[in-house]
Structures are given as C-alpha cells and as structure tokens.
C-alpha cells in the first residue's frame, strides 16, 4: 500500500512547464464545466479543519452519484491526487494548506469545490485568554475577551464551543482584544483562542485554556404572538438564523472603535410561528385589499363609461343645424311690391 507521500502527484514531474500544465488544466475544466453545468462538489475535513499535531484527519470530496473520477488538489504546493478522499493517520506540518476538489463525469469536469483550509495546531505554546472586566456579565453590558501570547505573533483567532469558525483579528502584536457589546444569553459559553504568524498562517499555537463566559440574570424574550408585528421581528428572525453560525467567516477588529456585535440565539419555536403568522396575515390582507381595489376601479370605470354615452348624444343634438322656416303668403306679396294682387 503506497504511503500518502508517494500517492501525491506533482505537476513538475509530469511536464517540463508546470505553469503551462496548471493553466491548461484549469482553463479546460472551467470551459467544460460551463458547458456541462455540473454542480460543484463539497469538501470537508473530519473531524475538523483544526487538527492537533499527531492526530488523524480525513479530507473527503463529495459529488453526485455517477462521478467517474475525483481530483483532490493542494493549491499551495500544486500537488493533486486522483481520488475522492485523503486519510492522514498523524497530522504533520507538511499537510497544512488550502485544498479543493473536483470530479469528472464523462468528458466534463465539474467546477471546483469551495476551498478548505487545513490547519495544524499545537505547533507553538498556548496563549492566555481573559475577560475584562469579568467572566460574569449582566445582560446588556459590554465585555472584552483578550488573547495574549508571550511571543511576537501578529495573528489571533477566537473560537466559541459549538461554532464552526473563528473570529480573526488583523495584525496586532502579542495580544488581541475581542470586544462584545450588548451581551445577551447567546454569548454564554466556552471560549478558546489561538495565536499564529501571518508568515505561516496554517501553523497555529495550542489552544488557550477554556474560558467560561456567564451571562447573569434573565434576558428579554419577545412574545411569541405580539399584538402588532414590528419590523424588529423580521430583523430578529434573520439575525437568529445567522447566529447559528456565529463567529463563522467573520473578522473582528481589535480597534476600540469597532466592536463585535452578536445577535441573540434563535428563540423558542413560538417566535418563528409568530413571524410566519404575521407574514401570512399580511399577505392575506394585501391580497384582499388588492381585490377590493380592482373591483372598485372596475365599477367606477363602468359607471363613467355608461354616463359618457348619453352626454355625447345630447351634445350632438344641440349642435345639429335647424331646418329653414316655410315662407308665408304675406312674405311673397311684400317681395313683389308691398301690395297684394287685385283679382277683381
């Protein structure tokens, strides 16, 4: 059974001009994908993309049934593997980087998957994580999570247990602040942070000791069936959906003027029912109003049209020229000389 290192194929070994090969492969796959309209595959790492040194991880590419060939690529080293899965029994620094995959169906290549960043953790000593002013925070107050390293790292990442992605900071030496404004019950949980260098973005420190953030008291829970559907219900619903993936693919600034604002977690099902109820009610009201408006416009148009016809007939009768009056005998006598004829 060949090792993982032996299975990888490097483009420079196959041709004398690797740049030409890479450009040709990418261009051909893009053109064929546009013609065939194949869906792009998904790429994931199990159990996760943050892998401690020495621990196993599996990178798997998933496409539709019937795919003839899979190709797994590591974009930094430009190596690729013609199979759908890469199993790493013990994580090493040489496996870190950006991965993507694609598949072939017939003669057509699919578009590439979204990129997966594989990170090795435990390469450096863990930083420390603290909460200012305290780990116990009242609802509506502000708190700052500070990640500090004894080394001169310029990058820091904050994770919350149960989420799939971090908050990262821009360049900041030795420590980074993650301010959270208007704390709610959604912010309760266990946090850890990592430190690393921008020169080696996939080699991270060990995680800090866990920090438990506790939100004391009770937070406001909106009624599931309020008397009037305010606009904030919609904003709350949208924000709640985003919260399920809070701390994912977001960048937090360490400047004091820029704060992290995390919306509260999705509330109990009645809130969603209330939103659906008001949405349907509003749609019904709008439809009924539109139907009534159309009927009124039709009745007014018909009434106006029925009144217009008699008016037009009357107007024509008024402007019709009068017939000439018949001439009398007296008028003839006056025209002949002003005297009547004498028949005697």
Q: DSSP of 206-240, one letter per residue?
A: PPPPPEEEEE-S------SS-SS--HHHHHHHHHH
Asked which of 48-57, 250-259, 319-328 is least confident by mean pLDDT, the reply is: 250-259
Average pLDDT for 16-27 = 43
* Predicted pLDDT at 311: 53
Query: Which CATH number is 159's domain given?
Result: 2.60.40.10
Separation CA 103–CA 105 (nearest Å): 7
Residues 260, 139 within the same domain: yes
Which of 260-264, 317-321, 337-341 has the highest mean predicted lDDT (pLDDT)? 317-321
Q: Say if 290 falls within a structural domain.
A: no
Given a contact cutoff of 8 angstroms between Cβ atoms, the answer to whether 168 and 260 are in contact is no
Helices then strands, each counted (H, E), the chain: 6, 20
| Residue pLDDT, tens place only, 71-83 | 999 998 889 999 9
Per the listing, tokens 């690797």 go with: 18
Q: Which domain holds residue 157?
A: 125-273
pLDDT-above-70 percentage for the chain: 58
Separation CA 234–CA 220 (nearest Å): 16
Reference 145, options 97, 178, 101; nearest CA is 178
Beta-carbon contacts of 303 under 8 Å, excluding residues fewer than 6 positions away, are none
Q: Say if 216 falls within a structural domain.
A: yes
Asked which of 39-48, 72-81, 290-299, 319-328 is least confident by mean pLDDT, the reply is: 319-328
For helices 269-318 and 231-243, what crossing angle results, to 10°?
A: 140
Q: Say if 339 falls within a structural domain.
A: no
Q: How many CA atoms lie within 13 A of 52 on its CB side?
A: 7
pLDDT tops 50 at residue 275: no
Burial of 226 (C-beta count, 10 Å sphere; 0-12/13-18/19+): exposed
**How many of the other CB atoms lie within 10 Å of CB of 171?**
11
pLDDT tops 60 at residue 245: no
Separation CA 247–CA 144 (nearest Å): 15
* Predicted pLDDT at 119: 97
Separation CA 256–CA 137 (nearest Å): 19
Residues 44, 133 within the same domain: no
Per the listing, tokens 């194949």 go with: 38
Given a contact cutoff of 8 angstroms between Cβ atoms, the answer to whether 289 and 213 are in contact is no
Residues 45, 147 within the same domain: no
Residues 247, 191 within the same domain: yes
pLDDT tops 70 at residue 330: no
Of 214, 247, 273, the domain-final residue: 273
| Residue pLDDT, tens place only, 103-119 | 999 999 999 999 999 99
Given a contact cutoff of 8 angstroms between Cβ atoms, the answer to whether 67 and 101 are in contact is no
Structure tokens, 322: 């009068």
Of 215, 245, 273, the domain-final residue: 273
Residues 134, 94 within the same domain: no
Residues 267, 149 within the same domain: yes
Per the listing, tokens 């606009």 go with: 231
Residues 91, 224 within the same domain: no
| Residue pLDDT, tens place only, 182-209 | 999 999 999 999 999 999 999 999 999 9
| Residue pLDDT, tens place only, 43-93 | 999 999 999 999 999 999 999 998 999 999 999 888 999 999 999 999 999
Residues 143, 259 within the same domain: yes
Reference 226, options 285, 282, 277; nearest CA is 277
Q: Say if 269 falls within a structural domain.
A: yes
Distances (CA, A) of 52 to 65, 120, 245, 248: 33, 6, 23, 20
* Predicted pLDDT at 191: 97
Q: Say if 283 falls within a structural domain.
A: no
Q: Say if 11 falls within a structural domain.
A: yes
| Residue pLDDT, tens place only, 155-166 | 999 999 988 777
pLDDT tops 50 at residue 342: no
Residues 214, 231 within the same domain: yes
Residues 214, 80 within the same domain: no
Given a contact cutoff of 8 angstroms between Cβ atoms, the answer to whether 151 and 195 are in contact is yes
| Residue pLDDT, tens place only, 10-20 | 433 333 344 44
Q: Say if 292 falls within a structural domain.
A: no
Of 273, 295, 329, the domain-final residue: 273
Reference 22, options 102, 99, 79; nearest CA is 79
* Predicted pLDDT at 327: 58
State how many domains the chain has: 2
Reference 264, options 323, 314, 309, 220; nearest CA is 220
């Amino acid at each position: 059974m060949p090792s993982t290192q032996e299975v990888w194929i490097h483009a420079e070994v196959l041709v004398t001009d690797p740049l030409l090969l890479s450009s040709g492969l990418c261009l051909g796959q893009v053109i064929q994908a546009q013609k065939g309209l194949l869906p792009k595959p998904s790429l994931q790492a199990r159990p996760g993309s943050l892998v401690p040194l020495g621990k196993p991880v599996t990178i798997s590419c998933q496409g539709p049934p019937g795919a003839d060939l899979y190709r797994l690529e590591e974009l930094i080293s430009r190596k690729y593997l013609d199979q759908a899965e890469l199993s790493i029994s013990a994580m090493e620094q040489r496996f870190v980087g950006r991965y993507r995959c694609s598949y072939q169906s017939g003669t057509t290549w699919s578009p590439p998957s979204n990129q997966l960043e594989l990170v090795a953790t435990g390469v450096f000593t863990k930083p420390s994580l603290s909460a200012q002013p305290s780990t116990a925070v009242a609802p509506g107050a502000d708190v700052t999570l500070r990640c500090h390293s004894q080394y001169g790292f310029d990058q820091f990442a904050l994770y919350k247990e149960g989420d799939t992605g971090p908050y990262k900071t821009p360049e900041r030496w030795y420590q980074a602040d993650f301010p959270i404004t208007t704390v709610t019950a959604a912010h309760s949980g266990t946090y850890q942070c990592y430190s690393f260098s921008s020169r080696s973005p996939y080699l991270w420190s060990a995680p800090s000791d866990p920090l438990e953030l506790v939100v004391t008291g009770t937070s406001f829970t909106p009624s599931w069936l309020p008397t009037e559907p305010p606009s904030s219900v919609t904003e709350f619903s949208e924000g709640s959906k985003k919260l399920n993936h809070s701390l994912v693919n977001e960048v937090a600034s360490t400047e004091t003027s820029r704060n992290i604002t995390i919306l509260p977690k999705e509330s109990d099902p009645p809130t969603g029912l209330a939103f659906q109820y008001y949405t349907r009610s509003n749609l019904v009201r709008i439809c009924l109003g539109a139907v009534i408006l159309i009927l009124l416009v039709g009745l007014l148009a018909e009434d106006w049209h029925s009144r217009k016809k008699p008016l037009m007939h009357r107007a024509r009768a008024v402007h019709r020229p009068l017939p000439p009056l018949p001439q009398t005998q007296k008028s003839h006598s006056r025209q002949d000389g002003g005297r009547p004829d004498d028949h005697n």
